[in-house]
């Protein structure tokens, strides 16, 4: 994966914002705390794009190498994607976008997702783990309406599953928003495909990454209207996360891809 991605990255014109946050994350992990990175997702090359950016521009060469990426099931089956999976720490889940593709398989897929969350809780109890997670459950795509590569909406329920896993573990888990502008490295098809074997094109391109301040869920909840129910609170937390990502995404030129 790195041999494939590295020659495609225009480092001289790439961007890395939030280097102070990266240093804080590295220290928290060294102290035995855990970190969850909530990010948008643009291609299967994102882990390698992150590795290149954070090791060269971010000053944290080991961070991505040690990160556990929460990935879709296709990382194990798609012949194009598999090389990007090799050498990475992965936990796989079936996203809502594909869990109903084969109705007879849905119970098995749901059981797999529950096992993955249990493993995540166990990792948090061990301490010192960084988990990269895309609450959208899929890749960003170019909008036919705006012509821009838009950040895919985050799923409030997916974010809550990760938040509850952190709470159930009883360990210290810090959440950070991250924006990625990696679309041009390996753009996804314009439409969501059920079948494997998507036609893809790659190109030499600058990339961008930004990390925002640690999220304070208690502060977000405190700003909610009096009497807000749990569904409203979940939506507020999710909205805050995606707003942070979109703001940083614009700062690194994501909408200009």
pLDDT tens across 170-197, in order? 999 999 999 999 999 988 777 655 555 5
Per-residue pLDDT band at 84 (split at 50, 70, 90): low
pLDDT confidence of residue 212? 98
Report CA dihedral (58, 62, 68, 71) to the nearest 10 degrees.
50
pLDDT tens across 111-169, in order? 999 999 999 999 999 999 999 999 998 899 999 999 999 999 999 999 999 999 999 99
Asked if 42 contacts 180 with a C-beta cutoff of 8 angstroms, the reply is yes
For the chain, helix, strand, coil in percent to 5 are: 45, 15, 40
pLDDT confidence of residue 79? 63
Helix (H, G, I), strand (E, B) or coil at 176: strand
Measured between alpha carbons, how far is 95 from 239 in angstroms, rounded to an integer?
Answer: 19
pLDDT tens across 201-256, in order? 888 999 999 999 999 999 999 999 999 999 999 999 999 999 999 999 999 999 99
Measured between alpha carbons, how far is 200 from 61 in angstroms, rounded to an integer?
Answer: 29
pLDDT confidence of residue 237? 98
* pTM to 2 decimal places: 0.92
pLDDT confidence of residue 74? 65
Residue range 73-102: mean pLDDT, rounded: 74
pLDDT confidence of residue 191? 63
Give the least confident one: 28-32, 102-106, 176-180, 202-206.
102-106
pLDDT confidence of residue 102? 84
Residue range 17-35: mean pLDDT, rounded: 98
């Amino acid at each position: 994966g790195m041999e494939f991605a590295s020659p495609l990255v225009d480092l001289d014109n790439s961007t890395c914002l939030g280097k102070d946050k990266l240093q804080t994350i590295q220290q928290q992990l060294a102290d035995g705390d855990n970190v969850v990175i909530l990010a948008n997702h643009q291609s299967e090359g994102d882990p390698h794009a992150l590795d290149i950016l954070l090791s060269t521009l971010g000053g944290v060469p080991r961070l991505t190498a040690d990160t556990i990426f929460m990935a879709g099931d296709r990382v194990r089956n798609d012949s194009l994607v598999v090389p990007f999976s090799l050498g990475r720490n992965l936990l796989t889940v079936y996203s809502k976008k594909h869990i109903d593709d084969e109705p007879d398989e849905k119970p098995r897929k749901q059981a797999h997702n529950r096992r993955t969350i249990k493993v995540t809780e166990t990792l948090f109890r061990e301490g010192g783990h960084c988990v990269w997670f895309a609450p959208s459950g899929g890749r960003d795509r170019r909008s036919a309406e705006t012509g821009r590569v838009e950040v895919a909406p985050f799923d409030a329920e997916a974010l809550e599953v990760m938040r509850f896993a952190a709470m159930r573990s009883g360990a210290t888990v810090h959440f950070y928003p991250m924006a990625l502008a990696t679309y041009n490295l390996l753009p996804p098809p314009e439409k969501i495909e059920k079948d494997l074997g998507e036609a893809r094109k790659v190109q030499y391109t600058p990339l961008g990454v930004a990390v925002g301040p640690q999220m304070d869920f208690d502060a977000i909840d405190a700003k909610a209207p009096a009497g807000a129910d749990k569904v409203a609170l979940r939506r507020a937390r999710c909205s805050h996360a995606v707003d942070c990502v979109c703001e940083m995404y614009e700062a690194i030129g994501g909408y200009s891809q």
